[in-house]
Amino acid sequence: MSDPRHKRPAVEWPTLAMLILCYGTFVIGTTWATTLFLPLGILLTTLAIALHSSLTHEVLHGHPFRNQRLSDLMVLPAIGLAIPYYRFRDTHLAHHQDSILTDPYDDPETNYLDPAVWQDMPRWLKGLRRFNNTLLGRLLIGPALGQVCFMAGDWKAIRSGDGAALRGWLWHVPAVGVAIWWMVAVSALPIWAYLLSAYVALSILKIRTFLEHQAHERARGRTVIIEDHGPLAWIFLYNSLHVVHHMHPRVAWYNLPRLFREHRERYLSRNDSYYYRSYAEIFSRYFFKAKDPVPHPLWPRD
């Protein structure tokens, strides 16, 4: 199977076009659209922030330029406010080691807990975690719960002397400063509306991460394929074809659908048919129902 990585251009124009679309939508949403109709401004700003997060994911994987520092600059403004780019980069690249996927300790992006930790949790926190394992809960409280856990983990790492974690947050200060300057000096969007947009954008992203990975005996069966071609797939830059991305993490987003289409049966065999037709199917099945238990059902492993 040919690998598009060997044919990478110096500039990936589709990704660059998406960056221009993202920032253009953000500017229009926070200025003209807001003065015309506030809900329209909130909607456009929300979509821009969600797309910006997906583009940040592309950048940390080496797009759209061969020069990584130049690519990093493309997502410097932290318009989503919450997650430092360099912390996202470090934790996400660690997550790409398939052998640790869903590991309660080694996978930085897992929602599974060690059953022993779960057993000692207070009842109210267990209830919160169970609600978070429904799609409704992930949309409503997922961004807040995820942010608290992420920051608590990084604070613990910083106190233990993790220089990379500290540097990631220090770099986040000027990046957020750009967004704050825009909010104060240029944007017509009220601050409460901007914060709402940022939160809803994170909620949209929680749809993508909701069932990207499952507990499975074999690493190959832990990563999903969602064969969706609607608006969410575009906002997520086809990261919905997640096993394709994990097998080819350096391949640009716009090549993923073609790779999947040309080798569909191979990928379905590869991930033991962990597959959904669309996000509509996921909403219908899991909006009120937990997709799996909070404590890892196969933990501890030998």
Residue 290 falls inside a structural domain: no
pLDDT over 70 percentage in the chain: 97
**Structure token digits, residue 89:** 């980069």
Residue 130 falls inside a structural domain: yes
Residue 160 falls inside a structural domain: yes
Q: How much is the pLDDT for 229?
A: 93
Contacts of 140 (CB under 8 A, 6+ apart): 203
Count: domains in the chain? 1
Query: Average pLDDT in the 119-134 region?
Result: 96
Q: Is the pLDDT of residue 177 over 60?
A: yes
Residue 74 falls inside a structural domain: yes
Q: How much is the pLDDT for 301?
A: 63
Measured distance CA(91)–CA(94) in Å, rounded: 5
Query: Average pLDDT in the 180-192 region?
Result: 96
Residue 150 falls inside a structural domain: yes
Q: How much is the pLDDT for 300?
A: 82
**Structure token digits, residue 76:** 């410097």
Q: Is the pLDDT of residue 299 over 70?
A: yes
Q: How much is the pLDDT for 9?
A: 84
Residue 284, judged by CB atoms within 10 A of its CB (0-12, 13-18, 19+), counts as exposed
DSSP the chain: ---GGGG--SB-HHHHHHHHHHHHHHHHHHTHHHHH-HHHHHHHHHHHHHHHHHHHHHHHTT-SBSSHHHHHHHT-S-TT-SS-HHHHHHHHHHHT-GGGTT-TTT-TT---B-HHHHHTS-HHHHHHHHHHTSHHHHHHTHHHHHHHHHHHHHHHHHHTT-HHHHHHHHHHHHHHHHHHHHHHHT--S-HHHHHHHHHHHHHHHHHHHTTSB---SSGGGSB-EE---SHHHHHTTTTTSHHHHHHSTTS-GGGHHHHHHHTHHHHHHHTTT-EES-HHHHHHHHSSS-SS-SB-TTPSP-
Q: Predicted confidence band at 163 (pLDDT cuts at 50, 70, 90)?
A: very high
Q: What is the pLDDT of residues 223-242, one digit of tens each?
A: 999 999 999 999 999 999 99
Q: Is the pLDDT of residue 181 over 70?
A: yes
Structural domain span for residue 136: 9-211
Residue 261 falls inside a structural domain: no
Q: Is the pLDDT of residue 7 over 80?
A: no
Q: What is the pLDDT of residues 34-82, one digit of tens each?
A: 999 999 999 999 999 999 999 999 999 999 999 999 999 999 999 999 9
